[in-house]
Amino acid sequence: MSWHPQYRSSKFRHVYGKAASKDKCYDCVPITRNVHDNHFCAVNPSFIAVVTECAGGGAFLVIPIKQTGKLDPHYPKVCGHKGNVLDIKWNPFNDFVIASCSEDATVKIWDIPNQLLKRNITTPKKELLGHARRVGLIEWHPTADNILFSSGYDYKIMIWNLDVEDAVLSKPMKILDTHKDVVLSMSFNTDGSLLATACRDRKIRVIDPRAGTVLQEGSYKSHKVNKVLFLGNMKKLFSTGTSCWNNRQIALWDQNDLSVPLLEEDLDGSSGLLFPIYDSDTHMLYVVGKGDGNIRYYEISPEKPYLNYLMEYRSHSPQKGIGTMPKRGLDVAACEIFRFYKLIPTKSLIEPVSMIVPRRSESYQEDIYPLTAAAQPALTAQEWLNGMNKGPLLVSLRPGSEAVNSLPQFLEPEPLVKTTDLSQQQGERMQDKQKPREIEDGRKRLKVEEKLPKNEQTCLSNGFGIFECPPPKTENELLQMYYRQQEEIRRLRELLIQRDVQIKQLELELRNLCTDTGNY
């Protein structure tokens, strides 16, 4: 079985789930009673949004992330839909923009003010009118700005370009009319060039969204799919569903061959849906059960057995929906690698659950926090529509690091000086040979900083500047760039050590000459 591997080491094998204390939960929240199979919750580092009960239309709450405790029963809502709200998603590149879709067949884009809400928000920033029936799913493009996908019960997926001034859009940029039944799930690969869908006709499809063509299509008689998920750049798909015996089931697929799953496994006999959530940074896969309190988590590997069971977080409080915090909102000081927000309607409670790697050291753990997706788009909407593909911009979670890096920067913060500056530095040391070492080093650093312009790009030995290198398009290219830069750092450090040794030898020779002259 996949959850009993032998002799396998992993830095995440001891990850455990920790529920927040009562004072850090969100209490008295009127969570929706809608039976639609969606998360009903969206989270970013500034706000938590949750679909709520509302008479005469649909609404959702937007609560500041730090405003925990009991919620005021008269807290303002975002209410502009004429039917129940079925899905909400934050813009990944703007923490103050959220999209919602509803049974009234519309999609609305909302601007959320920076300060605390004082009255209901009823006027959307944009309204998208294109679907003939209710809209059940929405997804933002992972790397292109202002591109939104919506899926409705008219069996169509529509692609919207929000980078226009019109407040009401009635014509999408493209309509994907490749499904013969309701789309149950949508998922993008890392650069957003492919879209995977799960349909009520039991088929999984991999679609080129710009061309509108189905690249792969498959179904398996013993697996009735409900949710499907791209596993980052591993060229694999993960799906949850039910078996022919109505057991909850998971399956792993090769995205280039959907005829037979690579792995198929029954979990239990419960009736609730399974929500799959993948963390491409740690290669951890979380399977959240609807209607129970459990969160199973696995580690994905490129070789067999592919799926390695780690642990299961158990709780007596069943969740109706789930929200996930983006990586940039995690507490790295506590070694938190993921955070869920469980919707518990029986208690009118939203409970944060942190997934923590136990470590004794309080310093930043770089091995469990690789570079992650930044809150800045890699492409404009028009660039993506014109056919460009680009992976997400990456950012380090180390406290005090730059907010966004246009290229993955692996260089340490110490300045790299040029060879010409090193020779000048040597001359300066010769001139200051009779001064204390601290003053000497201070003058050297000051003069080097004065000689280097602030905006000058550091050159590497391979002929490219750090910022001139073409961006890596694959994981292999990213690793090559990393190793190349590490080799450059090592070479420059050796050069600096050699220069320091030469300077010390010259200082000794000068001291000996001065001593000999004094004796005469």
What per-residue confidence (pLDDT) applies to 129?
95
Q: What is the pLDDT of residues 176-197, one digit of tens each?
A: 999 999 999 999 999 999 999 9
What per-residue confidence (pLDDT) applies to 490?
79
**Cross-strand bridge partners of residue 187:** 196
What per-residue confidence (pLDDT) applies to 505?
82
Q: Which residue has the higher pLDDT, 356 or 116?
A: 356
User: Rounded to whole angstroms, what are the CA distances from 450 to 13, 401, 427, 512?
Assistant: 50, 24, 16, 33
| Backbone torsion region of residue 201, taken as left when φ is above 0, otherwise alpha when ψ lies between -120 and 50, otherwise beta | alpha
Q: What is the mean pLDDT of residues 373-381?
A: 93
User: Rounded to whole angstroms, what are the CA distances from 134 to 130, 138, 157, 440?
Assistant: 10, 12, 12, 73
Residues ≥6 apart with Cβ < 8 Å to 424: 447, 451
Q: How far apart are CA 385 and CA 209, in angstroms?
A: 10
- Could you tell me what percent of the chain has a pLDDT over 70? 84
What are the two backbone dihedrals, phi and then psi, of residue 174, each rounded to the nearest 5 degrees?
Answer: -155, 150
- Could you tell me what percent of the chain has a pLDDT over 90? 64
Asked if pLDDT for residue 112 goes beyond 70, the answer is yes
Asked if pLDDT for residue 448 goes beyond 70, the answer is no
DSSP 132-200: SS-EEEEEE-SSBTTEEEEEETTS-EEEEE--SS-SEE-S-SEEE---SS-EEEEEE-TTSS-EEEEET
Q: How far apart are CA 267 and CA 69, in angstroms?
A: 35
Question: 16-373: which CATH number, 2.160.10.10, 2.130.10.10, 3.40.50.620, 3.40.50.10190?
Answer: 2.130.10.10
Task: Kindly indicate the confidence band of residue 233, based on its pLDDT and cuts at 50, 70 and 90.
Answer: confident
Q: Whole-number mean pLDDT of the chain? A: 84
Q: How far apart are CA 280 and CA 191, in angstroms?
A: 12
Structure tokens at 311: 């642990």
Cis preceding-peptide flag for 305 (omega within 30 of 0): yes
Q: Are 421 and 449 in contact (CB under 8 A)?
A: no
User: Rounded to whole angstroms, what are the CA distances from 255 to 128, 151, 202, 281, 421?
Assistant: 32, 22, 16, 20, 52
Task: Kindly indicate the confidence band of residue 469, based on its pLDDT and cuts at 50, 70 and 90.
Answer: low
* Percentage helix, strand, coil for the chain under 3-state DSSP, each rounded to 5: 15, 35, 50
Asked if pLDDT for residue 361 goes beyond 90, the answer is no
Q: Are 60 and 52 in contact (CB under 8 A)?
A: yes
Q: Are 186 and 209 in contact (CB under 8 A)?
A: no
What per-residue confidence (pLDDT) applies to 340?
97
What per-residue confidence (pLDDT) applies to 406?
33
Of 135-139, 299-303, 383-387, 438-442, the least confident? 438-442
Q: Roughly how many angstroms between the first and final C-alpha of the chain, as a whole number?
A: 88
What per-residue confidence (pLDDT) applies to 85?
95
DSSP 8-state assignment for residue 514: H
Q: How far apart are CA 116 and CA 48, in angstroms?
A: 13
What per-residue confidence (pLDDT) applies to 5?
47
Cβ count near 435 (within 10 Å): 12
Place of tokens 């088929």: 203
Q: How far apart are CA 366 and CA 396, in angstroms?
A: 9
What per-residue confidence (pLDDT) applies to 468?
44
Q: What is the mean pLDDT of residues 364-379?
A: 92
User: Rounded to whole angstroms, what are the CA distances from 424 to 129, 415, 489?
Assistant: 67, 16, 20
What are the two backbone dihedrals, phi and then psi, of residue 287, each rounded to the nearest 5 degrees?
Answer: -120, 110
Q: What is the mean pLDDT of residues 231-239?
A: 92
Of 125-139, 228-242, 450-464, the least confident? 450-464
Place of tokens 């004094």: 518
Q: How many residues does the chain have?
A: 520
What per-residue confidence (pLDDT) applies to 371?
92
Q: What is the pLDDT of residues 57-79, one digit of tens each?
A: 889 999 999 999 999 999 999 99
Our measurement of the distance from residue 349's CA atom to the centroid of its chain's CA atoms, rounded to an integer in Å, reads 25
Of 141-145, 364-368, 454-458, the least confident? 454-458
Asked if pLDDT for residue 473 goes beyond 70, the answer is no
User: Rounded to whole angstroms, what are the CA distances from 330 to 24, 91, 350, 405?
Assistant: 15, 18, 17, 19
Q: What is the mean pLDDT of residues 133-150?
A: 96
What per-residue confidence (pLDDT) applies to 504?
83
What per-residue confidence (pLDDT) applies to 419?
35
Place of tokens 């609560």: 63
| Backbone torsion region of residue 155, taken as left when φ is above 0, otherwise alpha when ψ lies between -120 and 50, otherwise beta | left
Q: How far apart are CA 174 and CA 132, in angstroms?
A: 15
Q: What is the mean pLDDT of residues 198-218?
A: 94
What per-residue confidence (pLDDT) applies to 355?
96
Q: What is the pLDDT of residues 302-340, one digit of tens each?
A: 888 899 999 999 999 999 999 999 999 999 999 999 999
Structure tokens at 213: 């063509």
Q: How far apart are CA 378 and CA 401, in angstroms?
A: 19
Q: Which residue has the higher pLDDT, 3 or 15?
A: 15
Asked if pLDDT for residue 415 goes beyond 70, the answer is no
